[in-house]
């Protein structure tokens, strides 16, 4: 909370979308039914976020560890991803959403890579919500890749070891063009970050909510933002409330 008493506003919200499988199981449905319902929640949050003052939204769509899931489930998830990118690209463009992706795109099938490239190009000049979708993404992988990139610069003489600082590391990450998240939300009651934005969330506020992702909507997001406004963000300094 600021010194004026004005509630803090999270401009960049990152969400770990969890609970699709449990939502489906509770209803006696196959897991894919939960994933399909989860896509509806994605639509709702993209629509609601700008009205709540959010300028950047990063969604954890598929982690590097998710490849270990049963082949049938992974195939179903990839099918839903294809449908989403095909069906939603024009709508997001009309809504002025700028879409980008982080993660190991090369691990996706060629047609999905093409869809990712197309929606990125289509929305590149939009000026509304900045939507980042993390696909085949892992924070440790991203930091490893950044370390390799910097090591190559040192080896080529482009920089010296003593030149390495936080700014150089940040510039080597896939998120270098994004502000750090202000708020990280994880749904379904789980309380871990699951290898998501490990560097970027150093000073993010964390909220772990019991709501399963298929039930997450604009009202729940608004409540999370209101709860964020009650936090005293100190960034290592003395509390302004003392």
79 is annotated as contributing to ligand binding = no
Q: Which two tokens stand for residue 152?
A: 């190559």
Report yes or no: 58 and 16 within 8 Å, Cβ to Cβ: no
User: What residues form DSSP beta bridges with 183?
Assistant: 13, 205
193 is annotated as contributing to ligand binding = yes
**Active-site option among 3, 18, 162, 165:** 18
**Active-site option among 66, 126, 170, 195:** 66
88 is annotated as contributing to ligand binding = no
66 is catalytic: yes
210 is catalytic: no
231 is annotated as contributing to ligand binding = no
21 is annotated as contributing to ligand binding = yes
73 is annotated as contributing to ligand binding = no
37 is annotated as contributing to ligand binding = no
192 is annotated as contributing to ligand binding = yes
DSSP, residue by residue, the chain: --TT-PPP--SEEEEE---HHHHHHHTT--HHHHHHHHHHHHHHHHHHHHHTT--EEEEEEEEGGGGGS-HHHHHHHHHHHHHHHHHHHHHHHHTT-EEEEES-GGGS-HHHHHHHHHHHHHHTT--S-EEEEEEEE-HHHHHHHHHHHHHHHHHTTSS-GGG--HHHHHHTSTTTTSPPPSEEEE-TT----TTSSTTTTTT-EEEE--S-GGG--HHHHHHHHHHHTT----TTS--TT-
213 is annotated as contributing to ligand binding = no
20 is annotated as contributing to ligand binding = yes
35 is annotated as contributing to ligand binding = yes
186 is annotated as contributing to ligand binding = yes
Q: Which two tokens stand for residue 87?
A: 């069906």
Binding site members for Mg(2+): 18, 205
Q: Which residues carry out catalysis?
A: 18, 66
Instruction: Could you list the residues known to form a binding site for substrate, using ranges.
Output: 19-23, 31, 35, 63-65, 67, 69, 186, 192-194
């Amino acid at each position: 909370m600021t010194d004026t008493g004005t509630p803090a506003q999270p401009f960049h919200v990152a969400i770990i979308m969890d609970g699709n499988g449990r939502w489906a199981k509770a209803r006696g449905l196959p897991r894919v039914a939960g994933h399909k319902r989860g896509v509806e929640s994605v639509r709702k949050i993209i629509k609601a976020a700008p009205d709540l003052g959010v300028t950047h939204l990063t969604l954890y769509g598929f982690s590097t560890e998710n490849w270990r899931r049963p082949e049938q489930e992974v195939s179903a998830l990839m099918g839903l991803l294809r449908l989403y990118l095909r069906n939603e690209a024009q709508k997001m463009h009309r809504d002025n959403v700028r879409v980008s992706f982080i993660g190991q795109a090369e691990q996706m099938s060629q047609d999905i890579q093409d869809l990712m490239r197309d929606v990125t190009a289509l929305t590149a000049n939009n000026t509304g919500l900045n939507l980042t979708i993390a696909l085949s993404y892992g924070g440790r992988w991203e930091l490893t890749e950044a370390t390799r990139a910097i090591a190559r610069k040192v080896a080529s003489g482009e920089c010296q070891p003593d030149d390495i600082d936080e700014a150089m590391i940040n510039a080597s990450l896939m998120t270098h063009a994004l502000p750090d998240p202000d708020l990280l939300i994880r749904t379904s009651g789980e309380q871990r970050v699951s290898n998501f934005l490990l560097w970027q969330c150093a000073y993010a506020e964390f909220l772990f909510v019991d709501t399963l992702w298929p039930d997450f909507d604009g009202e729940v997001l608004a409540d999370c933002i209101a709860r964020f406004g009650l936090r005293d963000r100190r960034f290592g300094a003395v509390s302004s409330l003392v």
